[in-house]
Chains A and B, each alone.
Chain A
């Protein structure tokens, strides 16, 4: 699931850059829609398990933002 989030998010980041220099490109827009949907699903699944990606999601999810482990520390 973390893997899906990572891959979908990166694919999205990359196509977004492409769309900056090719605004409205139809295939790229289609790819963006797919990647963004996959990312959204991955975020929802992850946050249901208590892992918050954005501080503001404390509003909807029971997870905690002030965790002991942060992304630069590695491990899973």
Chain B
């Protein structure tokens, strides 16, 4: 289960509102490769994992992604608070404001709402771990894209932190994949699905 710890994993203190940048960073909240989808992906996959190492990594990384989801929400909140409708309009934020005012809602920068079709929980541990390696790279690329268009150091600091965490997670998933492969038949990793099949030579 989860407890809430009343602090952010990394501080977010933004002095200058900027709804335009907020609308871009929104993709890391509700976008296809954002923190919510990352968390749901890993927390969903862990139930069908056959061995402890993978269950642990998916649980712990999935939980950390919730903390990142919170940081992204904090960034968007601080970039859009205390602005008038006119200021939001001038900063290109009106379509979102019409439906959500200055609230936080999971959608991508382009307006596509969060969607479970954007991640997989496939029930085969090799498949799922490769999905996760790709997911961390997609998230890293998204942060790279964000960093090209942000100039405010108050925003850059937490975004850089989150980008580095994606790289570390990628490393951990690589290790989890190697650990899994070590437990399978080295001559044929695909002989059976350890999440589902009973091994045939039993």
Chain A residues with a Cβ under 8 A of chain B: 2, 5-6, 9-10, 13-14, 16-18, 20-23, 52-56, 65, 70-76
Chain A interface helix/strand/loop/mixed: helix
Which of B3, B4, B10, B70 lies in contact with A72, CB distance below 8 A?
Answer: B70
Inter-subunit contact A21/B176 (CB<8 Å): yes
Query: Would you give the shortest CB distance from A8 to chain B, in whole angstroms?
Result: 12
Q: What chain A residues lie within 8 Å of B11 (beta carbons)?
A: 6, 74
Which of A16, A21, A53, A75 lies in contact with B6, CB distance below 8 A?
Answer: A53
Inter-subunit contact B6/A74 (CB<8 Å): no
Inter-subunit contact B7/A6 (CB<8 Å): yes
Some 10 contacts from A to B, beta carbons below 8 A apart, are: A10-B9, A16-B60, A21-B57, A53-B7, A55-B4, A71-B70, A72-B73, A72-B74, A74-B12, A74-B74
- Known interface pairs A20-B60, A20-B172, A21-B53. Does A54 touch B78 (Cβ–Cβ under 8 Å)? no
**Bound complex: CA A51 to CA B35 (Å):** 28
Q: Which 6 A-B pairs have the closest CB atoms?
A: A72-B74, A21-B175, A20-B56, A74-B13, A20-B57, A71-B8
Q: What chain A residues lie within 8 Å of B7 (beta carbons)?
A: 2, 5-6, 9, 53, 71
